[in-house]
């Protein structure tokens, strides 16, 4: 069997078009557009690339961006002051502090200072707390986990009652995606580096979300026939045949697993494009909430 390809690029493009239309309608009705502030500290190349991609995506959707590129040695107080200014700016509906922050800055203090109603990255401790509790709704859900669920929904995959296995328990991906699956009434197992018999647990999955950061770790004989696979992993592996000298691969051995699964995301082109689409979604929802548009 060869699995259905879950095309994240195509699904994300459709979502971005939906958002663009909503933004045009908002602008026509209120004269306002959603605004996203990105806060980048330091000169990490990967963080610079992510922020640039986010600004570009905003522009294409008609969302205003407010960029703060700050020096590596900025003090925590100065950074807090900028976050508070953005909290008070009525044209800013979402604030994204690009992680990781330098070691001298306490991440939780900064994330906790973001106005809850502008926490479009969903990492405010209160939003994470609500996500982890029964019958509590966070205002915003972190973008990559939200993108995983959106891929399942838009592919017509039933979640309720299914056995879901999440590989990885990070605050950014593994834990929140497990919580979202649980809220949708899946029966969830969370695996990590100390899990015994990982292939045995993975084999129980109807839905597998892999977020470990280990290239092609999940093999074809680890999965049950018909499993739906969401591969969050993004690993650069050496490839002398590629112009860049490396290629990107997921946590799942795609060529093997696609012969057993019923549906699978590719890497690249699966979860990656969904992360930015969900950021635009959260920012637009925040602006609608602020402007009282239902």
Binding mask 273-292 vs ligand NDP (x if CB under 6 A, - otherwise)?
--x-----------------
Q: Tokens 């699964």 belong to which residue?
A: 261
Q: Cβ(163)–Cβ(207) under 8 Å?
A: yes
Binding of ligand NDP by 94 (CB under 6 A): no
Which residue, 62 or 168, is less far from ligand NDP as judged by CB? 168
Q: Minimum Å distance from CB 231 to ligand NDP?
A: 9
- Alpha carbon 91 to its chain centroid, in Å, reads 24
| Number of residues forming the site for ligand NDP (CB under 6 A) | 25
Residue nearest to ligand NDP (CB): 170
Number of residues that make up the chain:
294
Which residue, 76 or 170, is less far from ligand NDP as judged by CB? 170
Cα separation, 1 vs 226, in Å, equals: 9
Which residue, 60 or 192, is less far from ligand NDP as judged by CB? 192
Binding of ligand NDP by 170 (CB under 6 A): yes
Binding of ligand NDP by 248 (CB under 6 A): no
Report residue 118: phi and psi, to 5°: -120, 10
Q: Cβ(27)–Cβ(63) under 8 Å?
A: no
Instruction: Decide: helix, strand or coil at residue 236.
Output: strand
Q: Minimum Å distance from CB 232 to ligand NDP?
A: 4
Residue 119: count of CB within 10 angstroms of its CB:
26
Q: Tokens 């290629």 belong to which residue?
A: 247
Binding of ligand NDP by 212 (CB under 6 A): yes
Q: Minimum Å distance from CB 170 to ligand NDP?
A: 3
Instruction: Name the burial class of residue 167, with classes exposed (0-12), middle (13-18) and buried (19+) by CB atoms within 10 angstroms of its CB.
Output: buried
Instruction: Decide: helix, strand or coil at residue 121.
Output: coil
Of 142, 141, 170, 149, nearest in space to 251 by CA? 170
- Alpha carbon 146 to its chain centroid, in Å, reads 6
Produce one character per residue of 190-200: b if its CB has 16 or more CB atoms within 10 Å, e if not. bbeeeeeebee
Alpha carbon separation from 99 to 38, 84, 103, 133 (Å, rounded): 11, 18, 11, 25
Enumerate the active-site residues: 54, 98, 121
**Binding residues among 4-63 for ligand NDP as defined by CB under 6 A:** none
Which residue, 82 or 205, is less far from ligand NDP as judged by CB? 205
Stretch that binds ligand NDP, among 109-117, 128-136, 220-228, 271-279 (CB under 6 A): 271-279
**Binding residues among 150-169 for ligand NDP as defined by CB under 6 A:** 167-169
Binding of ligand NDP by 173 (CB under 6 A): yes
Binding of ligand NDP by 232 (CB under 6 A): yes
Binding of ligand NDP by 189 (CB under 6 A): no
**Of positions 76, 155, 187, 235, contacts ligand NDP by CB under 6 A:** 235
Binding of ligand NDP by 194 (CB under 6 A): yes
Binding of ligand NDP by 144 (CB under 6 A): yes
Residues forming contacts to ligand NDP in the complex (CB under 6 A) are 144, 167-170, 172-174, 191-195, 198, 211-214, 232-235, 271-272, 275
């Amino acid at each position: 069997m060869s699995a259905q390809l879950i095309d994240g690029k195509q699904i994300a493009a459709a979502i971005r078009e939906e958002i663009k239309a909503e933004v045009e309608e908002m602008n026509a009705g209120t004269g306002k557009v959603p605004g996203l502030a990105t806060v980048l500290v330091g000169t990490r190349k990967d963080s610079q690339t992510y922020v640039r991609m986010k600004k570009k995506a905003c522009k294409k959707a008609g969302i205003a961006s407010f960029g703060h590129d700050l020096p590596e040695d900025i003090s925590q107080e100065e950074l807090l002051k900028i976050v508070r200014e953005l909290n008070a700016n009525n044209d800013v509906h979402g604030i994204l502090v690009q992680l990781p922050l330098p070691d001298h800055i306490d991440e939780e203090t900064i994330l906790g200072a973001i106005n809850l109603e502008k926490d479009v990255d969903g990492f405010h401790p209160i939003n994470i707390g609500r996500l982890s509790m029964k019958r509590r709704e966070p205002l915003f859900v972190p973008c990559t986990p939200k993108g995983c669920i959106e891929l399942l929904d838009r592919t017509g995959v039933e979640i309720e009652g299914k056995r879901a296995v999440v590989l990885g328990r990070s605050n950014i991906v593994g834990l929140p995606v497990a919580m979202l699956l649980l809220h949708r009434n899946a029966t969830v197992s969370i695996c990590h580096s100390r899990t015994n018999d990982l292939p045995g647990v993975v084999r129980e999955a109807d839905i597998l979300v892999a977020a470990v950061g280990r290239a092609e770790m999940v093999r074809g004989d680890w999965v049950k026939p018909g499993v739906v696979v969401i591969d969050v992993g993004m690993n650069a592996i050496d490839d002398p045949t590629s112009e860049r000298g490396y290629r990107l691969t997921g946590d799942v051995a795609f060529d093997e697993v696609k012969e057993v699964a019923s549906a699978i995301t590719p890497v690249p082109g699966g979860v990656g494009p969904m992360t930015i689409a969900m950021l635009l979604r959260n920012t637009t929802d925040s602006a609608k909430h602020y402007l009282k548009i239902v």
